[in-house]
Amino acid sequence: MEGRLVTILALDVVGYARLMHRNEEATLVNLSACRGMVDHHISERGGRIFGSAGDSVIAEFDSPVQAVRCAVAIQTQMSDPDRTPSQDPEFLFRCGINLGDVIREVNNLFGEGVNVAARLEAIAEPGGLCISQSVFEHIEGRVEADFVNFGPMNLKNIGKPVTVYGWLSDRAEQRVENPLQDKPVVAVLEFETLGAVGQSFLAEGLSEEIITTLSKVPGLCVVSRHSSAAYAARDVDIRRIGMELGASHILEGSIREVGNRVRISTQLLDATSRQHVWTDRYDRELEDIFDLQDDISLSIAKALHGEILEGEMAFERGSGTRDLRAWELQVRANEAMRSITRETSAAARIMAQKALIIDPDYASAMTTLALTHGLDARHGFSPSRARSLTLMREWAEQALSIDDRSAEAHGVLGFADNIEGKNTSAQNHFQRALEINPSHAEVTIRLALSQIFNGEEAQAVRTAERAMRLCPKHPPYYFGVYGFALRSVGRYEEAISAFRKYGAKVEGFGLIDLVIVYMQIGNEAAAREHAALLLRYRPNFTVREWAKTQLYSVKNGGNADIEALLKAGLPE
């Protein structure tokens, strides 16, 4: 038996057993139709199927490029409602590709090259594709598809960690977080001085000011000035700097004096791929050097907060002020609201109020203040729900009077309608907000919740998935909304997974939905176990009070959930 290097593609159906249990005949029809499409793409690109059992396919290719193009073509066609052979939108594939040594025996292939491909397929997201670094090195720049470096990962029964790259289709759920660390880590290198040597003090001061500013951004870790300064005069590869400093991103820049003006160029690099994440250039009058440092530091902090953490949503939430202190308070207020409790809502309100004392026309801080009152009304944190709703609307309207294109403010007004059960009006506000900023994840997830209460459960699943793609490092409650949508359409196992992730992020949350979903699948013992756990966290819980927070506009909406909670032993 002789070993040879080949590219292996592994593919299977997501949740095949669940699909078969739900509707065996329809699932087999979909499988047959999709297999015809899969076989065509494999054959068209020179592949050969050597393993096929049930819902899985394993094929070999001589070219990694052709293997990846094949997988992307399959997943792209599956994600297109007009071209997919499947009649079930939940019928999805996972794919994994590896380039490695295999052993041929008769018409079959064996060895770790095959095993790694199978393990990569197992960790891929529904509708997605994972490839090994050996494949990526061959296809980089040769395939029209973007891949994200997930870093070294331990794969089941594979001896050494495998560096994994992932591609996600539009329908894939982008929930994979950096496997190496919980937070992004930025190293700020000392800015290079071009031309006038006398401006070196500006380079040093600017680097230090940026580090100080970024260190105040929640969710972001910044390498100390002492550590990053060691690379000031060294020509070192970005990847090596990232490895030595434990940084996921490197910020570097240059300063050039032109007459009485200064030009500052900055770029943010991914420390693993060395690819540019973001670049910008600033031209300023060189009059007050300290104002200049604050101005540039704030601009860069805003940009990095958006690029690394929360996407376009962060740009809007931080916009509208040139005061560094006001921006910092606004950012911290929004971070506090990621955990929905009485205490965090109160803390966020205080910070938003302080930001408005510093900058009274800061519209983004007004919407944050409005949202804190909305959380009070939604979750019963204030003694007067009506008063909280009034304040919520007043602050959102005031924000719109300053900035009528504030997607955040339109979204808050939609949330107010949501709380009052006006789902049609709420969705109008949400759609207006998304016309202004299609990438606003917070508005998108609230739209999903509104769709559930309005009886549009299948649409709500897709909307929630989009919100999670828009903000991969989303607040934990996104899992709650997503799980709610999943259980509403009968995808119970996935719903349980989402609620467990919610509880893992915020202790004690997701339990009510777990009680309901376990009752729905007939596991009363598990439902009662979680009901008892819920009462330990919320000893005053009653089904009657909880039902007031369920804002259905459809007839008898929520009645089955109420019945499930009562049957599980929770107090009326």
- pLDDT reported for residue 290: 57
| Dihedral sign for Cα atoms in the order 199, 201, 202, 207 | positive
CB atoms within 10 A of CB 79: 16
Question: What end-to-end distance do the CA atoms of the chain give, in Å?
Answer: 70
Q: Do 159 and 198 have their domain in common?
A: no
* Tens of pLDDT, residues 63-79: 999 999 999 999 999 98
Q: Do 211 and 299 have their domain in common?
A: yes
Q: Do 13 and 122 have their domain in common?
A: yes
**Percent of the chain whose pLDDT exceeds 70:** 84
Taking alpha carbons only, the member of 506, 473, 470, 502 closest to residue 485 is 502
**Could you list the residue range(s) of the whole structural domain that residue 74 is in?**
3-168
Taking alpha carbons only, the member of 544, 487, 493, 537 closest to residue 516 is 487
Classify residue 442: in a domain, yes or no: no
Classify residue 449: in a domain, yes or no: no
Contact criterion met (CB below 8 Å) for 303 and 322 = no
Spell out a b/e string for 402-437, using b for 16 or more CB atoms within 10 Å of the CB, else e.
ebeebbbbbbbbbbbbbbeebbebbbebbeebbebb
Q: Do 54 and 131 have their domain in common?
A: yes
Q: Do 20 and 105 have their domain in common?
A: yes
Q: Do 161 and 191 have their domain in common?
A: no
Query: In the listed set 122, 141, 168, which residue is the last one of a domain according to the structure?
Result: 168
Query: In the listed set 104, 136, 168, which residue is the last one of a domain according to the structure?
Result: 168
Q: Do 162 and 218 have their domain in common?
A: no
Two tokens, residue 212: 């100080």
Interhelix angle 457-470/477-488, nearest 10 degrees = 150
List all residues 6 or more positions away from 346 whose beta carbon is below 8 Å from its beta carbon: 372, 381
* Tens of pLDDT, residues 131-188: 999 999 899 888 888 787 777 777 777 878 888 888 855 444 333 333 334 567 888 8
**Cα–Cα distance between 198 and 193 in angstroms, integer?**
9
**Cα–Cα distance between 300 and 327 in angstroms, integer?**
12
Query: In the listed set 291, 309, 327, which residue is the last one of a domain according to the structure?
Result: 309
* Tens of pLDDT, residues 377-413: 888 888 898 999 999 999 999 999 998 888 889 999 9
**Cα–Cα distance between 21 and 115 in angstroms, integer?**
28
Q: Do 134 and 269 have their domain in common?
A: no
C-alpha of 156 from chain center? 25
Classify residue 360: in a domain, yes or no: no
Task: Write the CATH number for 126.
Answer: 3.30.70.1230
How many domains does the chain divide into?
A: 2
**Region label for 195, one of left (φ > 0), alpha (ψ between -120 and 50) or beta (otherwise):** left
Q: Do 92 and 208 have their domain in common?
A: no
**Cα–Cα distance between 317 and 447 in angstroms, integer?**
18
* Tens of pLDDT, residues 68-124: 999 999 999 998 878 889 888 778 898 999 998 887 766 677 777 888 998 898 878
Q: Do 222 and 73 have their domain in common?
A: no
**Cα–Cα distance between 215 and 304 in angstroms, integer?**
12
Q: Do 122 and 205 have their domain in common?
A: no
Classify residue 121: in a domain, yes or no: yes
Output the average pLDDT for the chain. 82
- pLDDT reported for residue 181: 43
Classify residue 76: in a domain, yes or no: yes
Query: Residue 215: which pLDDT band, with cuts at 50, 70 and 90?
Result: low
Q: Do 100 and 138 have their domain in common?
A: yes
Two tokens, residue 334: 């929004």
**Cα–Cα distance between 509 and 381 in angstroms, integer?**
16
Classify residue 342: in a domain, yes or no: no
Task: Write the CATH number for 215.
Answer: 3.40.50.10070
| Dihedral sign for Cα atoms in the order 544, 547, 553, 558 | negative
Two tokens, residue 482: 């997503």
Q: Is the pTM of this model over 0.75?
A: no
